[in-house]
A and B are shown apart, each in its own frame.
Chain A
Amino acid sequence: MSDVLVVAEHRRGELREISHELVTAGRELADDLGGELHVAVIAGDVAEFAAELNRPGIDRIHTVAVGEEFDHTVYAAAAERLVERTGAAAVVTPNSVNGLDYAPAVAERLGVPLVTDVLEFTYDDDLTVTREMYGSKVETTAAVDGDRFCLTVRGGEFAPAEGLGEAAVEPVELDPPESGARVTGFEEVAGGDVDIADADVLVSVGRGVGEAENLEVVEALADALDATISASRPVVDNGWLPKNRQVGQSGTVVAPDVYVAIGISGAVQHVAGMKGSDTIVAINTDPNAPIFDIADYGIVGDLFEVVPELVSRFE
């Protein structure tokens, strides 16, 4: 029997959606392995999270009531403890910032291979995973050597589990481990003078703009279209626009009527923050840029030629 342990994720009192997605992924893997699906709920109001998580597909929910918020030492120790307790062959965690803060430690403790950012998997005597490489430019399949393994699964790849489940909920005792890292608080960094999530039209600028001085080309378009300026990560990292303008996983999630992506390649973290836009327009020199996969209208061209032409159409 080869069981699967999924570790749920929550933050500041809210269960995160990926937890339900991992129930679906974990159920598939457990079926392939011929085992049961265990879900771990660690820290915070575990009873409430367990109730919310209890959807069809789960065989058993284990709650570990140690601490309020995420602590990677607690998560790693709890996952290790639950693997001992259940005999699970596979540990599945979110490929989130917090998932990547403890999953590698779990794999180390268990001495099993770790594969991160998994999009898909199949199990047929051996595990085969699908993941991307070279910044989403290619997809690879890889064979994993071993009967036991640890996977982090990307959000948005599996449909969330739905409905009411009947899994038994079992509290598990864990002595709080000594941790070398202590959370002292949280800070909101979005917001500020403008909320890009409120805009109907966003003109969004990426690395392709080259340097801060060139932003005026894009600002002219935003003026002409009566749109709000937003940006992808590299523009904010370079300090060309403030953090509250950043669209994406670590910035703001937006869904305007029209999203004009200029010089943005479309990294997965960016796309996660804007794919809900009604109409997506992309202008980029690289015909293979992933942004074109989700664009409703795509122009392969130099933004410094196309954008001024477009501005002139609205003057």
Chain B
Amino acid sequence: MKVLVTVKEVAEPDDDFAIEGTDIAASDLEYGLNEWDDYAVEAAVRLAEAGIADEVVAVTLGPERVEETIRKVLAKGVDRAVRVRDDAFEGTVVDVASKVDVLEAVVDEEAPDLVLGGVQAADTGFGATGVALAERVRFAHAAVVNDLEVDADAGIAHVHRELEGGVEELTDVDLPAVLTVQTGLNEPRYASLRGIRQAQRKEIDVRDLADLGLSAGDVGGALTVTAMTEPESESDGERIEGDAGAAADRLATVLRERGVGAS
């Protein structure tokens, strides 16, 4: 079977950052693989190592910058990657339906049996692309999966969905399917030196929207960010100042006043 992993390079703000217009200043952002997608990549590579998946393909949407992140994914054992160039998307928040337009075209081309992606992207946090994609391409789906076992012969993925409050739902999902992967599903590996060397020779197929039969007009965003602010601290709490020793003195007093460690 073939597994398609959707991956996103996300931006993470530095501890100190400035807002310029409707986004964080580019100089205050660090880019890396979305944490949730790292677990999806690991799950896909393990399926290949277990002999269940014959091929693992990663797909991403992004400018040339993201190839560094894609190489890391390839170094972890993904066989090849497709990068859809997104000049039309640069500088905007891409809405769910537009991402699905692109991914639908890639799913049509690749015809995977299983699509894995993170539950959400750390930067925009929509948490919706996987389920919307499943609906569009008529695959079965399950969101927020934290346990996965694939029975390829039966054509079923046995999953646990992590609900709120320490409850998991046990679900059987027919293949082909889209699963969105929660952190904690597995332990994502670090790329080996050998993997990093091999990744240099792996293919990253760069596609334009036109190659996929789409135009910029087809993927117009339905969502326009009009303002971005840093939430004001609502705390009326005490900020304990001073060096570690002085802070510990004050905190010990506070804790003792509440009967902590009084025995």
A residues with CB within 8 A of B: 11-12, 70, 72, 76, 96-98, 100-105, 107-109, 113-117, 128, 131-146, 179-191, 201, 224-227, 233-234, 236-239, 243-244, 246, 249-253, 257-258, 278-281, 285-288, 290, 292-302, 305-306, 309-310, 312-314
Contacts and interface: CB of A to CB of B under 8 A. Distances in A.
Given A250-B164, A298-B235, A133 B228 contact: yes
B108 interface: no
A114 B97 contact: yes
Given A250-B165, A258-B260, A281-B254, A141 B144 contact: no
A134 B13 contact: yes
B150 interface: no
B143 to A, nearest CB: 4
Instruction: Please name the 3 residue pairs, one residue from A and one from B, whose CB atoms are nearest each other, closest first.
Output: A180-B140, A190-B166, A309-B248
Nearest to B19: A138
A310 B252 contact: yes
Among A188, A293, A309, chain B packs the most CB atoms within 10 A around the CB of A309
Given A104-B96, A140-B228, A298-B235, A134 B12 contact: yes
A107 B96 contact: yes
B211 interface: no
B95 interface: yes
A190 B142 CA distance: 22
Contacts of B255: 225, 258, 281
A181 B172 contact: yes
B168 A186 contact: yes
A239 B96 CA distance: 32
Given A72-B131, A138-B230, 16 more contacts: A11-B163, A141-B226, A142-B226, A143-B223, A185-B170, A225-B261, A252-B165, A279-B258, A280-B237, A288-B15, A288-B16, A297-B238, A297-B251, A301-B244, A313-B249, A314-B261
A299 B187 contact: no
A301 to B, nearest CB: 6
A273 B1 CA distance: 40
Contact of A97 (B17, B164, B172, B260): B164
Question: Could you say which interface size class chain B belongs to?
Answer: 35 or more
B225 A141 contact: yes
B81 to A, nearest CB: 25
Interface stretch (B48-56, B110-118, B121-129): B121-129
Interface string B139-153: 111111000000000
Contact of A313 (B168, B172, B248, B258): B248
A113 B172 contact: no
Interface in B149-183: 160-174, 177, 183
Interface string B83-108: 00000000001011100100000000
B213 interface: no
Contacts of A190: 165-166
A10 to B, nearest CB: 12
B136 interface: yes
B24 interface: yes
Given A97-B143, A104-B131, A238-B187, A189 B166 contact: yes
B21 to A, nearest CB: 12
Given A107-B96, A298-B235, A299-B247, A183 B170 contact: yes
Among A105, A134, A252, A296, chain B packs the most CB atoms within 10 A around the CB of A134
11 contacts: A76-B135, A135-B122, A141-B226, A180-B141, A180-B173, A181-B142, A181-B177, A183-B171, A226-B261, A251-B166, A295-B235
Given A306-B244, A309-B244, A146 B226 contact: no
